[in-house]
Amino acid sequence: MKQLSVALAGNPNAGKSSIFNALTGSHQHVGNWPGKTVEKKEGKFQRGEYEIRVVDLPGTYSLTAFSPEEVIARDYIINQKPDVVITVLDAANLERNLYLAVQVLELGVPVMVTLNMTDIADSRGIKIDEEKLGLALRARVVRTIASKGEGIEKLADTIIQTAEETRA
């Protein structure tokens, strides 16, 4: 099988772990980041001809490297160079979440965006133009309700599309 590695980045409570669980199911391993007390979750799943390894990065509001969580997330992206970084954004708090999205983009790695918590955004009448968001960030955007498993199949396909178009 072809191998892909992906990392989940996002603010605390944006829904990263829910997405991680929905993607990897029971195929997960929990440990600690080397030399840290911060939990590290890794998992994998198969899709088409790919085996996709997923790392759930610590939740952070930025990557400016002040907290251990920020250092871990930043170093992982820079040093391990995952094939795709999935930036998980809370659609109900988009403005605040975009700060991290821009910092991930600035690292120059292949990025896609998951617009999560879309049920909460909808219930508050918050409308987000995904196409404009995607054009502004130059990234593919997928809507999810991770706690209900909605949008996860599309997310898995979009990981592959993002990786393939980056390699092409």
- Using CB under 5 A, list all residues that contact Mg ion: 16-17
Instruction: Read off the amino acid at residue 11.
Output: N
Closest-CA residue to 83 (of 60, 55, 115, 102) = 55
Among 5, 6, 7, 18, binds ligand GDP (CB under 6 A): 18
C-beta of residue 8 within 8 angstroms of C-beta of residue 56: yes
- Told to check if 101 binds ligand GDP by CB under 6 A, we report no
Which SS3 state, helix, strand or coil, does residue 34 take?
A: coil
Using CB under 6 A, pick the residue from 40, 126, 147, 149 that binds ligand GDP.
Answer: 147
Beta pairing, strands 84-90 & 28-32: unpaired
Distance CA 54, CA 127 (A): 30
Residue 147, binding choice from ligand GDP, Mg ion, none, Cβ under 5 to 8 Å by partner class:
ligand GDP
Q: In this structure, what is the dihedral angle of CA atoms 62, 67, 68, 69, given to the nearest 10 degrees? A: -30
Q: Which of residues 31-60 bind ligand GDP (CB under 6 A)?
A: 59
User: Minimum distance from CB of 17 to Mg ion (Å)?
Assistant: 3
How many residues interact with ligand GDP (rule CB under 6 A)? 16
Binding of residue 87 to ligand GDP (CB under 6 A): no
d(CA 26, CA 103): 31
Binding mask 120-139 for ligand GDP (x = CB under 6 A): x-------------------
Q: Interface residues with ligand GDP (CB under 6 A)?
A: 10, 12-18, 59, 116-117, 119-120, 145-147
